[in-house]
Structure formats: C-alpha cells, structure tokens
Amino acid sequence: MASLKNIFNPRTPKDGDFFLAIKKLLSFSPKDISIYEEAFTHRSTNTTSVEGHAQNYERMEFLGDAMLSSIIAAHLFNKVPGGDEGYLTKMRSKVVSREHLNELGRDLQLIKHVKTTVPIGQFGGNIHGNVFESLVGAIYLDRGYKYCEKFINKRVIIPYVDIEKLEGKVISYKSLFIEWCQKNKHQFKFAVYEDTGNETLKHFAVKLNLDGETVGKARATSKKKAEEQAAKRAYYKLQEAIDGFSKKS
C-alpha cells in the first residue's frame, strides 16, 4: 500500500526526475539533492529526521528569507550609491514583498514539486513565495553564498529589479494612505459595515472614511484584504495629492 505522503505528490527521495527538474531550475547541479527534497516538503507529511526533528520547508524558508534580503540589499547598495538608509530599505521591501515572492514562485511553477498530503488546490497564495524562499535557503546550504547570489541574480535581479519601476511601485496602499494621513494631519477610519458571517464563504465589507467622508469601499474574504482594496480605491481617488507627498518623503 502506498504511503499517505505520496497520495498528492508521488515524488520519492530517489526520483531522478526531481534531480533533473532542480538542475534545470537552478542552471547548475545540486550537490546534495536531499536538501532540496526537504525544501519542497510540506509539514503535512510529518517527515522527521533520525533525531526526530521535523523536516519540511519552514526552517529553510527562514534562512532563504535572510539570504534573499541580504543579496538584494547588497545589490541596491552598489546600484544606488546616492540612496540613503530609508530609500534602500523601502526599495528592498518592494523586491522581497510577499506579493512579489508569490509571483516569483508561480512563474517558476515551484508548487508542482511540493510533496504534501494536502491537495494543492487547498493552499493559499503564499505557498508560492514560501517555497521560493525555501529554495533559496536550500541553495545556500548546498552550494554556498556565491551560488545563492548567482541564482537570485538570474531569477530575481535581472528580470525584475528595475530601479525606476520600483520607485513607482506601491507595496501597500493601506500603509501609504495611513502615512499620508498622519503626515498631513487627516483623520481616517476603516470600518466594517457588512459582515456576511452566515455565508459559506465569509466576506467583509469595509469603507474608508477620510475627515468624515467615505473615499473608498471594498468587499473581500478577509478584513485585511478589504481594507487594502478600499485604500487602493481611495489612493486612485486622491492620487495627485498622495503621489505629491510620496515624492517628497
């Protein structure tokens, strides 16, 4: 009888196809394929080491996040010699935002290599970015900093890091809107005005008030998403004023 952990993804530790897929993905050969096996293993498999430690992508995700942040920071530091700490931090945040990492993971189709007992369709969108970070961590463990830098340069920096475009990219409309309100002494409030809790799929409707006037409304499956969408709509309504503030700050 096949083990439960192979139901939703039949990859096995000795699978030569997995080695070839990783080699193609990296553009160089892995030294220790078992590191990548762990990097693509979901916690639902309950895989453990001989010492009893959990073996899944979460620890490597932590390491990959740090490596990615470090390499992008070094690139920006060298690329923009006139950028101060605040500017460089903001630019790095745009590159390593959860939205962007999820996009990277989707583009590379990393999820098809994940070993899991949970159907892929049940995962949230962040699985793509999480596995991407885990892959970066695996590269560092397997081949060291230089190979990690080489991979990030090819897969992230060259295709995605355009300084001019990044300068105009908004990470969070909610954060931008709040910062603008605070600096300009405007009163704002996000308020849930409808909560369809009896529906099979729960939705929240949020309105954003600015100085007593509603400037944005949105509805989403979470309060956080609805607030972000409402702030985005408010941003486009007040774009000229907010963009003028952003360029000064």
Options 37, 61, 133, 228, the catalytic residue: 133
DSSP 210: E
| Backbone Cα Rg of the chain | 22
Q: Is 243 a catalytic residue?
A: no
Write down the catalytic residue from 37, 38, 61, 65.
65
Q: What whole-number distance in Å separates Cα of residue 5 and Cα of residue 47? A: 9
Alpha-carbon span 4 to 98, nearest angstrom? 31
Work out the widest C-alpha separation in the chain, in whole angstroms: 66
Which helix or strand (DSSP H or E) is residue 182 part of? Answer: helix 173-183
Give exposure, 229-242, as e/b (b: 16+ Cβ within 10 Å). Answer: bbbbebbeebeeeb
Quickly tell me which residue has 């900093």 as its tokens: 145
Annotated active-site residue 167? The verdict is: no
How far is residue 135's CA from residue 146's CA, in Å, rounded to a whole number? 15
Catalytic residues: 65, 133
